[in-house]
Amino acid sequence: MNRSKHVLLPSHGTVGAQAAESVAIELCAEDAKIHHLVVVPDLWKGMMGDDWLNNGVTRDRYARYLETELGREVEEHCERVRSKAKEKGVHYSCEIVLGKPDECLIEACMETDYDLVVMGSPRPKGTPGLRSRMATKSLTQALSSPLLTVPYPDG
């Protein structure tokens, strides 16, 4: 099996993304690099619930709370992937961006040449959780690196 030397891993910690993380690290050659791209969907910018946040102090407090919780979750996720990579002897780097997931992934591929991009497949219908709304058709046409989409794990 061919092993990759420089892998881009767009992952946000869901069950499907975790399956992709494991495959991405397994596909890395000895002494390879894996760049972990965490995209915080820009929809979070609008999560202020203005209908019940009727004063500036409450709104600011809620914004800080959301930012702190999201930051904590992202850091735990990055640490988990960093630890898996270290176990395999893979060099780990991480980038956290805010935006549309497909656009951020395309931009990351335009900035750096990767041997492989590994990502999870969309959640099956009926599976709970926030959908990233990745536009896979435009993504596959725009990427200059090969893309491996890891199937959603069975139950």
> pLDDT tens across 90-107, in order?
999 999 998 888 899 999
Whether 155 is covered by a domain: the verdict is no
Whether 130 is covered by a domain: the verdict is yes
Whether 65 is covered by a domain: the verdict is yes
Q: Angle between the 15-26 and 56-88 helix axes, to the nearest 10 degrees?
A: 30
11-15, 41-45, 86-90 — most confident range? 86-90
Whether 61 is covered by a domain: the verdict is yes
Identify the residue with better confidence: 70 or 117: 117
What CATH number is associated with residue 80? 3.40.50.620
> How many structural domains compose the chain?
1
Whether 52 is covered by a domain: the verdict is yes
Q: Which helix (H) or strand (E) holds 149?
A: strand 147-150
Q: If you average pLDDT over every residue of the chain, what do you get?
A: 84
Mean pLDDT of all residues in 115-136: 77
Mean pLDDT is lowest, of 93-102, 110-119, 120-129, for: 120-129
Whether 36 is covered by a domain: the verdict is yes
Task: Tell me the pLDDT tens digit for each residue of 27-76.
Answer: 999 899 999 999 887 765 655 555 555 666 776 777 777 778 888 888 99
The predicted model scores a pTM of: 0.83
Exposure b/e, 97-117, CB count within 10 A at least 16 = b: beebbbbbbbebbeeeebbbb
Mean pLDDT of all residues in 79-89: 95
CA gap 23, 93 in Å, rounded:
17
pLDDT computed for residue 12 by the predictor: 83
Provide the residue range defining the domain that includes 93.
Answer: 4-150
